[in-house]
Structure 1
Amino acid sequence: MQIDKLKHQHTDILRRVAALRTLTHAGVADNAQAIAEGIVGMSAVIKLHLAVEDQALYPSLQRGDDADLARLGRMYQAEMAPLAQAYDAFVRRWNTAQHLREDAEGFRADANNVLRRLHERMQRENLEFYPRIEAQAELA
């Protein structure tokens, strides 16, 4: 399975998270519109990424000959479900400048939790999961 596109999406998402962090540090109220737009834009990339994983990556691993990698794929997929739900709630809560201006501290707390979890997940995929997939592909 070719995972270059997934890796590029991780880079894009991490760049967007960093941009949101910069805007947040500069002031939520002053940057509310840009933050809301950043959240909506990042959401589109994340939805595409999750769809590729669910419709291509995980099924490909299940059809493969490596039972351990198939098991690992099922584990990663199952672990992602609650994070995807938390991220979806985050987007729905903070996708407008008005909501951000009304509760800047609530946004900061929610962003620190959800975006930290998202960052940690992508790092695990980058360091543990994707290298296993690439190593298996080289053997095939």
Structure 2
Amino acid sequence: MDIRRYHHDHGEIATQIDALRTLSRAGVAENAEEISSRIVAFASRVKFHLAAEDQVLYPTLARAGDPDVAAMGAHYQQEMQGIAEVFADFVGRWRVPSRVKADPEGFRAGANTVLRALFERLQRENRELYPAAERV
């Protein structure tokens, strides 16, 4: 399976995570407008990527004829549902600049948790899931 698109998406998502971290370090309240704007754009990229995985990657892995690969795909898909819910809550809360500005520490704590979980997931997919998909 050709997974270059997924690797490309991961690179863009990691870049967006880095941009949010940079803005946070420069001052959450001072950068609330830009942070919120980037969160909305970031959410669109993540949703697009997840839809591609759900519609193409996971079904392909399920049909691969290798029970280990199929089980891995099912596990990753199920696990991502929980991460996606937490991410959606994060986006819903922090897409509004006034909320970011009013609670910089709350934003920072939420971002540290959610963005770290998402980044770690990207790394595991790159290390485990995508190499398995390339063999299919």
TM-score computed with the length of structure 2 as normaliser = 0.98
Q: What runs of 5+ residues in structure 1 fail to find an aligned partner?
A: none
1:6-48 C-alpha deviation (Å, 9 max, x unpaired): 1100000000000000000000111111100110011000000
Pairwise CA distance, 1:3? 1.1
Q: Deviations over 1:92-134 (max 9, x none)?
A: 0000110100110000000000000000000000111111211
Q: Quote the Cα distance in structure 2 between the aligned partners of 1:9 and 1:62.
A: 22
- Name the structure 2 match of 1:19: 19
Q: CA-atom RMSD, angstroms?
A: 0.7
Partner secondary structure for residue 129 of structure 1: helix
- Give the counterpart letter for 1:23 in structure 2: L
Equivalent residue number for residue 52 of structure 2: 52
Which residue of 2 is the match for residue 98 of structure 1?
98
TM score, norm. by length of structure 1: 0.95
**Larger relative contact order (Cα-Cα within 8 Å, sequence gap ≥ 6):** 2
Unaligned runs of 5+ in 2: none
Shift of 1:61: 1.0
* Alpha-carbon distance between aligned partners in 1 of 2:77 and 2:128, rounded to the nearest angstrom: 14
Paired residues, number = 136
Residue 61 of structure 1 is matched in structure 2 by 61
Structure 1 residue ranges, 4+ long, deviating more than 3 angstroms after superposition: none
- Measured in 2, the distance between the counterparts of 1:119 and 1:64 equals 27
